[in-house]
Amino acid sequence: IPLVYVNRKPANLPDGVAYVGSDSIDAGIMQMEWIAEALGGKGNIVIMNGDLSQEAAQMRTAGVKQVAENFPDIAITKEQSGNWQREEGLALMENWLQSGDQIDAVAANNDEMAIGAIQAIEAAGKLGEIIVGGVDASSDALAEMDAGRLNVTVFQNAIGQGEGGIETAIKLARGEPVEQVVWIPYELVTPENYKDYMK
């Protein structure tokens, strides 16, 4: 029986098994490159991790850090897991803001945590002072961007992943050769192009 994993990559891929997904490190790289440019290459960044037992959270954060290392005047001052949840992102951001430390940007592993951060920033009267980035380009996130509250997100092409998964499964079933890993690229979503992603 041919087996194709989509979106969540197992630790090891046996022969005859394929994976179709997006390379999570790219999401962190794209997000952080945009943030670094928006900050003019200097400032304090906080990272909201997803569930750290999951490869997507680990790799998105690795991508953010990889870019930050290229900017001597960018410091990652706080990093904690919000477990992909809006409420946890809100609570994390409230705590960080209450610490009184300077925060110039939030790099969240997904849009739900980014939206939570925005809600905390708004409650603290700091809307527009802190750059916020997410990942997923969810409909809620695009609405936040439309309202001028979310600065950047990264689109994960679920339809492309699904189509790639089906195509790969059909090829495996026919005994045709397939790439063991099929990458579907992420896409950067900003205030300039977000309308292209609104349903």
27-155 is classed CATH 3.30.465.10:
no
**Going by DSSP bridges, is the β-strand pair 3-6/42-49 parallel, antiparallel, or unpaired?**
unpaired
Q: Please tell me the distance from the alpha carbon of residue 49 to that of residue 84, in angstroms, as a whole number.
A: 7
Q: Is it the case that residue 199 has pLDDT exceeding 80?
A: no
146-183 confidence digits (pLDDT tens): 999 999 999 989 899 999 999 999 999 999 999 999 99
**Per-domain residue ranges for the chain?**
27-155
Question: Is 103 within 8 Å of 71 (Cβ atoms)?
Answer: no
55-112 confidence digits (pLDDT tens): 899 999 999 999 999 999 999 999 999 999 999 999 999 999 999 999 999 999 999 9
Per-residue burial over 83-114, b = 16 or more CB atoms within 10 Å of its CB, e = otherwise: bbbbebbbebbbebbeeeeebbbbbbbbbbbb
Assign 45 to helix, strand or coil.
strand
Which of the four pLDDT bands, split at 50, 70 and 90, describes residue 10? confident
Count of C-beta atoms within a 10 Å radius of residue 78: 18
13-64 confidence digits (pLDDT tens): 888 899 999 999 999 999 999 999 999 999 999 999 999 999 899 999 999 9
Q: Which helix (H) or strand (E) holds 66?
A: helix 55-68
